[in-house]
A and B are shown apart, each in its own frame.
Chain A
Amino acid sequence: MTSSTADSFAVVTSKSLPSTCFSSHVAEGAGSLVQPGWSSFVKVLSTSTVAGLVAIASNVAFVPTEAPTALSPFASTPIVQTPISALISNYETGDFDLVHGKHLLATDNGVFSFLAWFPRAVRDVYGEQAKISLRTVDDLETGAQIVEARVLSGLDLGDEFDRKDAELFEKIEISGLFSGLQHVVVSQG
């Protein structure tokens, strides 16, 4: 259920059951959810503190409710982050084809391991300010899509640039994760 759907719910007490079913009363410990559009009527859930959940289809009417005093049932829903999503969050991904890229990450352990490790190596060499852009590039020679990890260090070209670039590759070689470079190209931006 989407959050926009949740916005169209109102919780009311049985005492305030109106024939129009519009109410701004908020019941504590309200019960089940009613699907929007399913009914504009209030369902009675218990005999004592009867609470109901009115679903108002957004295309019929929208009833703004007062700020809830109880936590929304959605508030405690944890945001699930997959390992792949966690990995990608370390990169700038403006030009990254998520469908292809995620498939590659899910099917190629070498690529996953390398890209999971790489941001830490870049930070070690270039500092926290360095960014890495991850993008998918069409290889016009092979027709395949290649993942390019471009280091955006902001360094001017010169001795320091060369030294840090060499240092980064030393780390890659020492890491033993270079099998990931079969499908990933590291570049300097």
Chain B
Amino acid sequence: MLSSPKANPSNFDAAEFYAFASWLNHTKPSLSSQVLRRTIIGRAYYAALICASSATGAPTHGKDGHVNVVRALKQKDLNAGNKLDSLRLTRQSADYKASDISSRDVDTSLQAALVVLKSLGKAPSGSSVFNSDYLDPTRFLSAIAHQSEG
């Protein structure tokens, strides 16, 4: 059984967003949920973006901030920079557009994020990309059930 991650704000690593996104995709509490798919893509994107920003020194804020991070990463690694750009566009669709997000979109987004993280030496090590049980759905669902009964 995986343990719950400890909350430690001083030790936050944005790459963990990727681990969380992967865990969420692996857990699949509701495979067809558009909300779930969009959330996974969003977390995968921010894992890649924030790590790329840290590695390149390009800030994410300001005019065209995210694009500037993409440009900076392309100069270091063309493939990784392009993957971040692709992921950036997918994340925009996921967050702002009503068009359907497919499970393939989710999988390719996670793949793109992983390419970026590997390029930056931030890819998860070990046999699993996540080592925490971020949210035990059984407990979560049972808690709701108890509330309903009460």
Contacts and interface: CB of A to CB of B under 8 A. Distances in A.
Interface residues of A, number: 22
Contacts of A137: 89
Contact of B96 (A140, A146, A173): A140
B108 A139 contact: no
User: B-side binding surface: helix, strand, loop or mixed?
Assistant: helix
B112 interface: yes
A161 B79 contact: no
B134 to A, nearest CB: 22
A169 interface: yes
Nearest to A150: B86
A122 to B, nearest CB: 14
A29 interface: no
User: Taking chain A's interface residues, is the majority helix, strand, or loop, or is none over half, making it mixed?
Assistant: mixed
Contacts of B66: 141
Contact of A142 (B67, B82, B115): B67
B92 interface: yes
A158 B110 CA distance: 12
Interface string A149-164: 0000000010001100
Interface of A: 137, 139-142, 146, 148, 157, 161-162, 165-166, 169, 172-173, 178, 181, 185-189
17 contacts: A139-B89, A141-B88, A146-B89, A148-B86, A157-B107, A169-B79, A172-B78, A178-B78, A181-B74, A181-B78, A185-B86, A185-B89, A186-B82, A186-B86, A187-B86, A188-B112, A189-B104
